[in-house]
């Protein structure tokens, strides 16, 4: 379970490059795994020492180093010392409220993504990628796991092109896994939107409004996570860095198209949710109008009945009808006829 959350205010006044973890702190220890592979085979291990970790970056094979957990600042600093990462990159890695972006530092690329999950509400976790010539380093917050297990299985089993391609293709595969997760998250959100539409039309309640506002906030968060990714993929697709090879551009273009589809879905859901509030208010207004209409009809029917009852409730001594033997029943009959007449009149006017 996630621990406490450190806010950006903790960095106010500190010099650039100062490492302060911003975000939720995981209660688990930082875990570092390495997958080192080529066409011939794959070596996978969990390591404890960083020096052992970066032995793999100097080999001719492709290495994927995955760091789960960002709350140990000293370890992140050691990563920077071993790989020569810019201090501002390290600062961005531990600052988990970054927007998706791409920065080119010549001999490596720094990419920031948002990994979404849907368990009792949509949540976002920052994933940072360092893409070198023959290695990829991923930094995760280590809160909810990740979506990279299919990539690991493909590397282990030698399926597809992963083992025969370089680090740029591995980076593409990781980005593609994150984008595919967007579709799953939005599919679940779409089902909830459909349920909300039905609820708004049939049984709207204050709880419905709360659900609409929660989903609107989630869609805004998802939009902030996905929209900048389009710029990142467009920059990678232009091959402005020699680290991106020509064969990988086709796959990056495919992920770009998927990202556009995700953005279209997000905008559609946002429009639907915005319209739901108007539908909710209209539905509540219609229900109130129907209630007021019913009460008005009942009140209108009782106006002549009340008048008749009031007339014969007066305490005058000489009222001829008071002496009639069947006067009481005749007045009740008159009141019944008046009520039935008015009901028939309202029915004819289609007010009922």
Distance CA 201, CA 196 (A): 9
The answer to whether 93 touches 75, Cβ cutoff 8 Å, is: no
Q: How far is Cα 135 from Cα 36, in angstroms, rounded to an integer?
A: 9
Tokens of 208: 């419905």
257 token code pair: 């198209």
Q: CA nearest 237: which of 259, 258, 254? A: 254
- Predicted confidence at residue 59, as pLDDT, reads 64
Q: Which CATH superfamily is domain 288-348 in?
A: Magnesium transport protein CorA, transmembrane region (1.20.58.340)
215: closest CA among 273, 267, 283?
273
| Model confidence pLDDT, tens digit, residues 77-100 | 877 777 778 888 888 888 888 899
- How many whole angstroms separate alpha carbon 169 and alpha carbon 165? 6
HSE (side-chain half, CA atoms, 13 Å) at 167 = 26
Domain spans of the chain, in order of start: 2-282, 288-348
pLDDT digits (tens, 9 = 90+) for 40-61: 888 888 877 655 555 555 567 8
What is the CB neighbour count within 10 angstroms for residue 309? 13
| pLDDT confidence of residue 9 | 58
For the chain, give percent helix, strand, coil, nearest 5.
55, 15, 25
CA 47 to chain centre: 34
DSSP strands (E only) in the chain:
2-6, 23-26, 31-37, 42-47, 62-68, 101-104, 109-118, 122-131, 135-140
The pLDDT of 304-321, averaged and rounded, is 81
Fold of the domain spanning 2-282: Beta Polymerase; domain 2 (3.30.460)
Is the per-residue pLDDT at 22 higher than 60? yes
The pTM assigned to this predicted structure is: 0.78
């Amino acid at each position: 379970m996630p621990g406490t959350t450190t806010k950006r205010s903790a960095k106010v006044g500190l010099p650039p490059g100062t490492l302060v973890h911003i975000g939720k702190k995981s209660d688990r220890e930082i875990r570092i795994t390495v997958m080192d592979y080529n066409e011939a085979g794959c070596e996978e291990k969990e390591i404890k020492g960083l020096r052992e970790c970066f032995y793999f970056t100097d080999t001719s094979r492709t290495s994927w180093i995955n760091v789960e957990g960002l709350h140990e600042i000293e370890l992140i600093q050691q990563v920077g010392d071993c790989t020569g990462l810019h201090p501002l990159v390290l600062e961005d890695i531990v600052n988990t409220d970054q927007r998706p972006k791409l920065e080119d530092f010549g001999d490596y690329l720094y990419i920031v993504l948002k990994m979404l999950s849907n368990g009792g509400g949509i949540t976002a976790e920052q994933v940072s990628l360092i893409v070198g010539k023959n290695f990829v380093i991923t930094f995760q917050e280590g809160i909810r796991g990740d979506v990279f297990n299919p990539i690991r299985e493909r590397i282990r089993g030698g399926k597809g092109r992963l083992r025969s391609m370089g680090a740029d293709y591995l980076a593409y595969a990781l980005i593609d896994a994150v984008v595919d997760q967007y579709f799953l998250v939005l599919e679940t959100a779409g089902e909830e939107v459909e349920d909300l539409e039905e609820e708004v039309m049939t049984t709207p309640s204050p709880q419905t409004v709360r659900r609409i506002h929660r989903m609107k906030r989630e869609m805004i968060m998802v939009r902030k996570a996905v929209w900048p990714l389009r710029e990142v993929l467009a920059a990678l697709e232009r091959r402005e860095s020699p680290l991106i090879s020509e064969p990988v551009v086709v796959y990056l273009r495919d992920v770009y198209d998927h990202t556009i589809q995700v953005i279209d879905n997000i905008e559609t859901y946002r429009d639907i949710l915005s319209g739901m509030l108007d539908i909710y208010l209209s539905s509540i207004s219609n229900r109130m109008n129907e209630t007021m209409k019913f009460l008005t009809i009942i009140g209108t029917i009782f106006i002549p009945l009340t008048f008749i009852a009031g007339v014969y409730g007066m305490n005058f001594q000489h009222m001829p009808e008071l002496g009639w033997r069947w006067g009481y029943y005749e007045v009740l009959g008159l009141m019944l006829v008046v009520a039935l007449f008015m009901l028939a009149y309202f029915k004819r006017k289609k007010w009922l």
